[in-house]
Amino acid sequence: MLAEIFLVARKDLRVERRAKIALGQVAPLALLILMVFAFALDANTSLLERGAGGLYWLAVLYGGTLLIQRSFDVETDDGNMDALRMSAIGMPSLFLGKALALFVQITVLELILGPGILLLYNVGVVDWVLLIAAAIAGTVAFSVCGVLWGAMSAGLRVRATLLPLLLVPVLAPVLLAGSRAFETALGVRAGAGWTWAGLMFVIAAVHTALGLGAFGFLLEEG
Amino acid sequence: MSAVVEFEGVVCVAGSFPVLTGLDLRVDRGEILHVQGENGAGKTSLLRACAGLISVSSGKASVLGFDMRVDRKAPRRHIGLLGHENNLYRDLEVSKHVEFRAASVGARASDTAAALEKVRFPQQLWSVPIGSLSAGQRRKVAIASLLVGRPQLWLLDEPHAALDTESRKNLDAILIEASASGATIIFVSHESPVTKEIASRVITMDGGRITEDSGAG
Amino acid sequence: MPVANSGAKMTATLITRVLGVSALAATGLMAVLGLVISPPDVVQGEAVRMLYIHVPSIWIAYGGFALTSISSILFLRRSRRRPDQGRHYDRLAGSAAEVGVVFTAITLITGMLWGKVTWGTYWQWDARLTTTVLLFVTYLGYLALRRLPAEPAVRSRRAAVMALISFINVPIVHYSVDWWRTLHQKASLSVGRRPEITGEMYWTLLYSALAVTILATWLIIHRYRVIRLEELRDEEGLEALIASRLNKDFGSH
Amino acid sequence: MSEVATVVAGWGITFVILATYSIWVVFRGKGIGRELGIGETEQSDLEKDVGTITDS
C-alpha cells in the first residue's frame, strides 16, 4: 500500500513539475491576492498586521482550490480515470497518494506566501514552532479535504463552481483554526494557539478516516 | 475451451439511455473477436461492460470467471482497456508514463523498454512529454501502456485509429502473438482491410444487440 | 419508511390524507396556542412567541439531516454491489435534506428577527448562528450536487458520501465556532437567549414541536413521492427507448 | 420593530415559506402524475391535501 501511495504521489508531482501550474500560475496569483488585500484594507498597517493570519489562510484556500481542481482535471483528461479504475491501485492508496501530492504542492505555495505576509504585512514571528506546526496541520487538513471534495466534483461539467461551494463550508473550521493559531504565532493575539493547531490535526484525522472508507464510492461510474 | 466473456440477455443503461438491450455473447480464451456496427450500435458499451466500468442492469454476465453482478471490479486488473481516448498524462514523459502504468497494474516497470520497442516507438522520443507527440505516436504509447501489463483480456476501441499502415501491421502482429500466448482480444473497428485476417470471429451489432455472428455457425 | 404503495398509486393515499389534515389542524392549533393562549414572558415579553417556531424548526432540521445521513449509509450499503438497489434510501435522503434546508432557513429568519428585538441586532457571530448558517450552506451544496446533470447512479453515490461527511462535520463545525466565540467575547453570549421555560410555555413548545414534526413528515413523504414520480417519468422514457430499439431490430431482421 | 410586529413577521414568513413549499411539492407531484397518466383517481385527495396546507 505504501508503494502504491508513493507511486500515485510521484506521478502527480512529476506531472506538476512538467506543467508548472502550482509554481508558475497559482503561487503568483496567491501572492497577488495578498497585495489586493492590502488595497482593500487601504494599507492600514495595524489592520493588516492583525489580519495577517486570516488573510494568509484565505490566500491558501484560494490557491489550494485551484490546485485541487487541477489535481482531478489531470485524471479526467484523456480518460485517465478509466485507466486508474482498471489498475490494481486500491482506492485508499489513490486517496492518500493524491493527498500527499497535494500536500507537497500546497506546502510549496505556503513557502511562498509565508515570506509574503512577513514582508508585505510587516509582521514578525514570535513562536516559530507553533507557526510551523499550525501550517503543517492546516495543510494536511486542506489536502485531505481537498482530495475528497475534488473527487466529489471530478468530471462534472460545473465542477469549477461546485468545488468551492462544497469545499468552503467544510474548510471553514480549518480557516478559523489556522487564522487563530497564526495570530498567536505572529504575536498579535495571546491565545490558545496550540489548541487550534490540535483542532486542525483532529479535522485532518477525521477526514482521512472518512476518505479511506468513502473514496472508492466517489470515483466509480455507472 | 474456457469462456472468458459470458453474457446472457445483458441490459446496460447509461444515464437514461439503454446502450445494451439484451445482448448474448460468449468469447473463449484465445479468440480474437472483431466487433463492427454503425455508430451508436453499442460497441463501445459492450467493451465497457466487459471491463466492468458500466453496471449490468439485468441478465447474466461473467468475465474471466467473475460474476459481474456480484463484483464488477474483480476482473479489472487482468483486463487491458483502450478506449477512444488514449488515457495518457499529457505532461508525463513517455517512458515515465509507461512505467507508471506498469507499476499501477502490478507489473514490472523494467518491462517498459521492451513494450515500447514492441510497438516500435522511436527511442529518441522516450523522454519527450506526451503532449508534444503526434496522434499516431500517442496511440503507440497507449498500446505500450497496455502491453506492459500483460492483460488476459484486451478490450480495444478502434486500436488502429491514427496509425499508419506499417504500424497497423505491427499492431496486428502484437495481437496475434498475445492471442497465441493465451490472451483474449475483443476489438471494435470500422475499417477491416488490414485487420480482417487476424480476427478469428466477427460480430455485428445494432441497437445494443448482436445481429450477426460469424462464429455462431 | 414513508413508502407503502408501489405501482400506480403514487400521488396520495389515505395515510397521507390523514397526515395532511392532521398537519393542518396541528399547525392551526399551534398558532392559537403560540400566539394567543400562551402568556408573554416576564423578560422577553411578546417576543418569546418566536420560540415556538424557531426552536422546533431547528429540531426538525437536525432530524432531517440525521435522516439524510442514515439513509445515505443504508443506500451506500445496499448499492455497493448492485447500483440499482437501495434507490428508496437515496430518495429518502434527498427529500429529508430538502425539508431540512427549508426548516433551517426558517430557523435562520426567525432567529434573526428575534435577535433584532432581544439583542438589537440581526446578526451576531455567536456559535449557534454561525454553525447554523454553515449547516444551511453545506446542505444547499448537497442539494445542488443532487440536481446536477450526471448519471443518476454516480450522482446518488457522490451525494450519499457527501451527506455522510457533512453530518460528521457538524459537531466539528459547532465546537470550533463555539470555541472561537468563547475564547474572546465571553460577555455577549450571556444575553438572555434561552429563558427559563416553565408551565404553559413549556407545553406550548412541546406541542409546537409535535405539530411541526407532523407537518415535516407529511412534507418528506410527499417530496419522496415526487422524486419517485420523476424517476418513473425517466424510466418510462427509457422503456420506450428500449422498446423502440428492439422493434427496430425485429423489423430489420 | 416592536415585539408584536416581529412576532407577526416571523410567524408570517414561516407560514408563507411552508405553504409555498407544500404547494410546490404537491403540484409538482400532480403534474408529473398526470403526465404519466397515473393517480387520476387520487386527484381529489390531492386537492384536499393542497387545501389542507394552504389553509394553514
Domain ranges of chain C: 11-185+197-252
CA distance linking residue A155 with residue B212, whole number of Å:
36
Those chains having 3 or more beta-carbon pairs within 8 angstroms of chain A are: B, C
Contact B16 C238 (CB under 8 A): yes
The confidence score (pLDDT) of residue D13 equals 94
List B21's β-bridge partners, or say none. Answer: B11
The confidence score (pLDDT) of residue B185 equals 93
- What average pLDDT does this structure show over A187-206? 89
CA distance linking residue C97 with residue B34, whole number of Å:
49
C153 has pLDDT over 60: yes
H/E segment holding residue D21: helix D3-36
Least reliable range by pLDDT among B76-90, C79-93, C100-114: C79-93
Instruction: Count CB neighbours of A43 within 10 A.
Output: 12
CA distance linking residue A178 with residue C176, whole number of Å:
11
Q: pLDDT of C156-200, one tens digit each?
A: 999 999 999 998 888 888 888 888 876 544 443 344 445 556 677
**Residue C201: pLDDT band by 50, 70, 90 thresholds?**
confident
Q: Where are the alpha helices (DSSP H) in A79-158?
A: 80-86, 91-120, 128-153
**Residue C44: pLDDT band by 50, 70, 90 thresholds?**
confident
- What average pLDDT does this structure show over B96-125? 90
Our measurement of the distance from residue A97's CA atom to the centroid of its chain's CA atoms, rounded to an integer in Å, reads 14
List B6's β-bridge partners, or say none. Answer: B26, B62
Closest residue in A to C77 (Cα–Cα): A217
Contact C225 D6 (CB under 8 A): no
Cβ neighbours for A144, distance < 8 A, ≥ 6 positions apart:
A99, A204, A207, A208, A211
As given in the structure block, the three cell numbers for residue D30 are: 400532480
Contact A86 B51 (CB under 8 A): yes
Cβ neighbours for A123, distance < 8 A, ≥ 6 positions apart:
A49, A52, A117, A186, A187, A188
**Residue D49: pLDDT band by 50, 70, 90 thresholds?**
very low
Q: Are D26 and D49 in contact (CB under 8 A)?
A: yes
CA distance linking residue A178 with residue A164, whole number of Å:
18
CA distance linking residue A32 with residue C95, whole number of Å:
43
B153 has pLDDT over 50: yes
The confidence score (pLDDT) of residue B186 equals 94
Instruction: Count CB neighbours of B34 within 10 A.
Output: 20
Most A CBs within 10 Å, among B82, B104, B130, to test the A interface? B104
User: C246, exposed or middle or buried, with CB in 10 Å at 0-12, 13-18, 19+?
Assistant: middle
Contact A79 B86 (CB under 8 A): yes
CA distance linking residue B97 with residue B103, whole number of Å:
10
| Overall pTM surpassing 0.95 (yes/no) | no
Select the residue of D7, D25, D46 nearest C50 (Cβ to Cβ): D7
B168 has pLDDT over 50: yes
Backbone φ and ψ for B24, nearest 5 degrees, come out as -115, 130
Orientation angle between helical segments A128-153 and A91-120, nearest 10 degrees: 130
The confidence score (pLDDT) of residue B14 equals 74
Cβ neighbours for C229, distance < 8 A, ≥ 6 positions apart:
C10, C11, D29, D32, D33, D36
Q: Which of residues 73-92 of A touch B (CB under 8 A)?
A: 74, 77-80, 82-89
Q: pLDDT of C225-240, one tens digit each?
A: 999 888 888 777 767 7
B29 has pLDDT over 80: yes
Closest residue in C to B16 (Cα–Cα): C238
The confidence score (pLDDT) of residue D54 equals 38
C250 has pLDDT over 60: no
